[in-house]
Structures are given as C-alpha cells and as structure tokens.
Amino acid sequence: MALIDTINPLLTTGWGKGDAGWSLKDYEARGGYAQLKRILTSKMSQDDLIAEVKKSVLRGRGGAGFPTGLKWSFMPKAAPEKYVVCNTDEGEPGTFKDRDLLRFDPHSTIEGMIIAGYAVGAKRGYNYIHGEIFEIYQRFEAALDEARAAGYLGENILGSEFSFDLFAHHGWGAYICGEETGLLESIEGKKGQPRFKPPFPANFGLYGKPTTINNTETFAAIPFILGMGGEAYLNLGKPNNGGTKLFSVSGHVNRPGNYEVPMGTPFAKLLEMAGGMRGGRKLKAVIPGGSSAPVLPADVMMDCTMDYDSIAKAGSMLGSGAVIVMDETVCMVKALERLSYFYYEESCGQCTPCREGTGWLYRVVHRIEHGQGRQEDLDLLNRVTDNMMGKTICALADAAAFPVRSFIKHFKSEFEYHVEHKKCLVDPEVQRAGSGFFRASSATEAA
C-alpha cells in the first residue's frame, strides 16, 4: 500500500514517485546523506549528537515509545565492541509502515543507522527484516550496495576516522522475533525467544555486547531531525510527542494506507485523509496502535489526537501506529477470536503464563463465538488475563491480554448476547455486507 496523503512530509518526502525514487541518487538529490557528511566533517561530538536527538523528543516507533536519545545514552562509552540493530520485523497485525519505508526510501534508514552507530560508538549494524517481505529485504540489500560503493559504509567513511558497516538479515516471519531480545537471539542463529531483562541490550545485547536497537521508523527520522534541528522537529508535534509519525490505517476506510501526520493530529483528520468510512457506515471501534493495543469505542476515539499521551489517556496505546478501523458491521467476538488466535499462534512458549494462557484465552473466545460459551466465561477470561499480565519474560502475554480485556470491557453486551443466544448480536447478513471478503464471494454468487 503506497502512501496516499500526508501533512508535513518528512519520512515520506521521497515516496511520491512510488518505486522510482528509492535510489541513492534520488536520496542525495533530496538532501540525503548531508547530515552524515556534516557530522563527520564537523567531527561533532557524540554527546552533542545525542543531546540533539534528546531535544527532539523522538520516541521509539516500534511500540513502546521509549525516548530514543535517552536509550542511546545508556550505551557504555568504553566498551570496545558495540552494535546498532534495526528492527524491521514488523509483525504486529495492522502495521505496514516499515516495509514501505524501506521500499520507497531505504537510504534514510541507512543514514539514520550510520549516525546512530557514530553516536553510540558502534562499528557494525544489522537490520533484521521480516521474513515475509523478501522483496523488501532485496531492496535493502541493493541500497546497502549503493551506500557501500559511495563510501557511506565501510572503513573510514568519507575519509573520516569513523568506520561502520551494515548488514541485512531476514527472519522467517515469527512475530516474536520483533521483540528486541528475541530478535537478537535470532540474529545469533538461535531460536527466537526473548531474553529475561535485565540485563538490557544496552549492556548485554547482540553476542553479549552493548547494543542499541530501534525501530526502522525511529532510525529513518534521525537524518530529518538533524536536518531541521531537534527543537524544530519537536515543535512539529506537541510537547513530549515530537515530530511526525507514520500511521498504517487499515480496516473499513475508503483509502487504507500509510499516512504521515504530525503528532497530535486529531483522529478525525486522519480518518478523513483515509477517505472516511467505507460505504458511509458508522464507526464502531478503533484499535489505535496495532493489534496488541486495547480497542477503543468510536466516541472515545473521535475525541483523541494521534499522539502517545492522548491515546494513553484514553486507555490504549499509540504502539506502532497501526490504526485498525472497524465499522458497525463487525462482530466484536469474532474480531477478538481472530486476534486471540494470532497470539496463541505466536507465543514463543517459554513462559508458563503465556504458553498456557494464550491457548486458554483463544479456546474460550472460540467457544463463545461458536455458541458454546458459558455464563462464567467472561469472568474466566478476565481472570486468566489477570494471571498472565506482568508475569512473563516479554510483553507478548500482555499483548494477548489487552485485546481480550478491552473488547470485553467496551463491548460486553455483545459477548453476553453470544453466550446467551449462541449467536452474534450483529446480524450475519450485516457482517456479510461489511466484510470485503464476504462481499467478494457474494459478487461471485451474483455472477
């Protein structure tokens, strides 16, 4: 899905030409690699560089929203061997921004990573790319070749003292390999299973060495921040929520796609950019930050602006910026069943509460959806999620619990109706009308 619209393009400046604008030449024409050159020629200090990033209040775009400058400053200065790792695993349902970033403008991520390497004193970087977007991996490799040939990567970059090389690594599509320590294990050639933290990657990361790991979009923002200055970037958004953000809008909108908007843009505006509700139907619910973010009902969502603080205040998370829009034709039990199935499938299986709990949740939601629910099931679901949350090695267990809790919280009557009447509250015919899948098949029927 290419970009359709944007306010204040930074990350998406080069996207306009579709597949034609990704090359090094195009990127340089847009001012690319100028920041790297400036840093190297001016011999900017690492501290100044990190201070600039801190000023921008860039927060990690991978989901947790951790301040990037602060994260970089955790890297031990003296360590002889360090790594920078980019997380392009992008497995969160609803999220499809990182792959477009690498498809249309891979060099901004490369430049961001080189600059990060400079800032934290790493000589080597890896970009871990989701296994199911192999053509993006190939695109990134092509861009790396260009950068290497142009002297942006390798020994003594642009004649400076600084050396840095960067490699692409593709996974095989496991969601858990997006969790940063699972990702590191996977690069090391092991099974992708998160590590217990602490120690955090800044102390014990790739191959046991200090490692900075950020999301693709986080790295891609770096050259733009340095170009305009941290403060100007911050001011694009709102306090504590610097800059612009890519939102992957999907679901029942007329123009699903990636949209870059300043932090703090009203949800209503984003929805409008995405062409509004498909078929003019009524908005029912929105998952604002990827499938693991709690769902919000329409009215709550319509009052939100798209930034970390506003969404958190409303009881959800901005997460990765995947905005899943659901209209009135959606059966919330069925939607939850699909989500629960995902987490049940993707749990790595290490920790007891997640290994056993994700399956339990899925089975109970499944039986409610299939008319075999029991009165006590809603309490049971809440109790099981309660027993999972905050008790595991990584956040996948919480990610599995949030949808269950929020769906039941906001749409309890639908669940109760299912248990009681052994069918959906939303008439199947209505569901059929709303679903693209169903519509396609009825079209066949008609023909």
Partner 1 sequence: MVEIEIDGTTLQVVEGSTIIEAAHQMGTYIPHFCYHKKLSIAANCRMCLVQVEKAPKPMPACATPVANGMKVFTHSELAVKAQKAVMEFLLINHPLDCPICDQGGECQLQDLAVGYGESASQYEEEKRVVPDKDLGPLVATDMTRCINCTRCIRFTAEIAGFMELGQSYRGERAEVMPFIGKTVDTELSGNIIDLCPVGALTSKPFRFSARTWELSRRKSVSPHDGLGSNLIMQTKHHRVLRVLPLENEAINECWLTDKERYSYQGLNSEGDNGRLTKPMVKQGGEWKEVDWNVALDYAAHALRDVAKTHGGSAIGGLLSPHATLEEMYLAQKLLRGLGSENIDFRLRQSDFSADGKRKGTPWLGMKIAEIGELDRVLVVGSFLRKDHPLIAQRLRQSAKRGAQVSVLHSADDDLLIKLEARAIVAPSQLPAQLAEVVNAVAALKGVAADPALAKVGAGDTAKKIAASLVSGSEGSKCGVLLGNFAQQHPQAATLNVLAQQLARLLGGRFGFLGEAANSVGGYVAKAIPTGDGLNAAAMLNTPRQAYVVVGAEPELDCADGAQALASLTQAAAVVVLSPFKSQAMLDYAAVLLPVSPFSETSGSFVNTEGRVQSFYAAAKPLGESRPAWKVLRVLGNLLKVEGFEQNSSEEVRDEALGGAPEFVSGLENAVNVAPNLEAAANGLERVADVPIHFADSLVRRAPALQKAADSAVPSARMNAATLVKHGLLAGDAVKVMRSGIQSDGAGDTAQVTLVAQLDNGLPDNALRVAAAHADTQALGAMFSVLSVEKI
Ligand X SMILES: Cc1cc2nc3c(=O)[nH]c(=O)nc-3n(C[C@H](O)[C@H](O)[C@H](O)COP(=O)(O)O)c2cc1C
List of residues contacting partner 1 (CB under 8 A): 174, 176, 191, 196, 198, 344-353, 355-360, 363, 376, 380, 383, 386-388, 390-393
Report what 289 binds from ligand X, partner 1, ligand SF4, none; CB cut-off 5-8 Å by kind: none
Residue 3 near residue 260, CB atoms below 8 Å: yes
Secondary structure (DSSP) of 93-142: TT--HHHHHHHH-HHHHHHHHHHHHHHHT-SEEEEEE-TT-HHHHHHHHH
Q: Which is nearer to ligand SF4, 122 or 293 (CB)?
A: 293
Q: Measured from the CB of residue 71, what is the shortest distance to ligand SF4 in angstroms?
A: 21
Considering only residues 323 through 352, tell me which ones interact with ligand SF4, judged by CB under 6 A.
347-351
Strand partners, 6: 260
Contacts of 150 (CB under 8 A, 6+ apart): 24, 33
Interaction partner, residue 215 (ligand X, ligand SF4, partner 1, none; CB < 5-8 Å by kind): ligand X
Binding status of residue 287 toward ligand SF4 by CB under 6 A: no
Site membership for ligand SF4, residue 396 (CB under 6 A):
yes
Nearer to partner 1, 148 or 367 (CB): 367
Look up tokens 């009447």; give the residue: 421
Neighbours of 15 (CB within 10 A): 21
Show contacts with ligand X in window 199-218 (CB under 6 A). Answer: 213-215, 218
Residue nearest to ligand SF4 (CB): 354
Nearer to ligand SF4, 246 or 354 (CB): 354
**Count of CB atoms situated within 10 Å of the CB of 128:** 27
Distance CA 212, CA 69 (A): 11
Number of residues that bind ligand X (CB under 6 A): 24
User: In the window 48-67, what residues touch ligand X (CB under 6 A)?
Assistant: 60-64, 66
Q: CA 24 to CA 326: how far, in whole Å?
A: 39
Say which entry of ligand SF4, partner 1, ligand X, none residue 144 contacts (CB below 5 to 8 A, set by partner kind): none
Q: How many CB atoms are closer than 10 A to CB 63?
A: 25
- Cα 389 to Cα 96, 318, 338, 379: the distances in Å are 27, 19, 20, 15
Binding flag, residue 395, ligand X (CB under 6 A): yes
Residues near 226 by Cβ (< 8 Å), separated by ≥ 6?
A: 35, 38, 39, 49, 52, 115
Sign of CA dihedral 6, 7, 10, 16: positive
> Binding partner of residue 360 among ligand X, ligand SF4, partner 1, none, CB under 5 to 8 Å per kind?
partner 1
Residue 359: name its binding partner from ligand SF4, ligand X, partner 1, none (Cβ under 5 to 8 Å by kind). Answer: partner 1
Task: Give, as ranges, the residues between 68 and 87 that touch ligand X (CB under 6 A).
Answer: 87
CB of 354 to partner 1, least distance (A): 8
Give 392's DSSP letter.
S
Q: How far apart, in whole angstroms, are the C-alpha atoms of residue 236 and residue 244?
A: 7
150 burial level (CB within 10 Å; 0-12, 13-18, 19+): middle
Q: Which of positions 189-228 make contact with ligand SF4 (CB under 6 A)?
A: 194
Sheet with 165-170: list strands edge to edge: 165-170, 124-129, 83-88, 211-215
196 in contact with ligand X (CB under 6 A): no
**In the complex with ligand SF4, which residue's Cβ is closer, 292 or 392?**
392
Q: Considering only residues 117, 178, 201, 357, which one is a binding residue for ligand X as defined by CB under 6 A?
A: 178
Spell out the alpha helix ranges (H) of 275-317. 298-302, 308-313
Provide the minimum distance between the beta carbon of 417 and ligand X in the complex, in angstroms, as a whole number. Answer: 32
399's contact among ligand SF4, partner 1, ligand X, none, with CB below 5 to 8 A by partner kind, is ligand X
Q: Are 301 and 285 in contact (CB under 8 A)?
A: yes
- Using CB under 6 A as the binding rule, whether residue 193 contacts ligand X is answered as no
Binding mask 125-154 for ligand X (x = CB under 6 A): ------------------------------
Q: Which residues form the interface with ligand X (CB under 6 A)? A: 60-64, 66, 87, 89-92, 175-176, 178-180, 213-215, 218, 394-396, 399
Residues at the site binding ligand SF4, with contacts judged by CB under 6 A: 176, 194, 347-351, 354-355, 392-394, 396-397
